Amino acid sequence: MTSIIFRTATRYMFPPLLVFSVYVLLRGHHYPGGGFVGGLFAGSAFALYALAFSVADARKVLRADPRDVTAVGLALALLSGIPPLFSKEAFLTGTWWTLPLPAGGTLDIGTPLFFDIGVYFVVLGVLLTLVFTLGEEE
């Protein structure tokens, strides 16, 4: 599509869509959302970019092969199940750590967050593999 309005709107909407996808990813522990929905938002931002410009331009913005993104996400999701094994818990049991913050206070971080980030990357990679493959066909 060669519409100047569509390209300009995409240029302005792309960064907020990615930021919103990360917001949805991080709020998914307590409210609706999480890795799957966040990955869909990020994938839709790249799909919009590919429609407005080209698949080659969207690949340049991504800076990685979508299959590699999928592999990293799958590895992260699987690795998030290993820490509970050290405390004799079942695989993928939620484990949390309390980290002190330099400004005071603490931060609780757990394996479900890493699992959700892995799901985010898997969904993003699979969606972009589909979109880019369909967009490159004649």
Note the pTM of the prediction, 2 decimals. Answer: 0.92
132 and 46 Cβ atoms separated by less than 8 Å: no
Look at residue 28 in the predicted model and tell me its pLDDT. 84
Residue with tokens 């892995």: 118
Q: pLDDT tens digits, residue range 74-133?
A: 999 999 999 999 999 999 898 999 999 998 889 889 999 999 999 999 999 999 999 999
Question: In 96-131, which positions are buried (b, 16+ CB within 10 angstroms) versus exposed (e)?
Answer: eeeeeeeeeeeeeeebbbbbbbbbbbbbbbbbbbeb
The mean pLDDT of 40-51, rounded to a whole number, is 96
Please tell me the total count of domains within the chain: 1
The boundaries of the domain holding residue 109 are 4-136
Look at residue 138 in the predicted model and tell me its pLDDT. 66
Look at residue 1 in the predicted model and tell me its pLDDT. 57
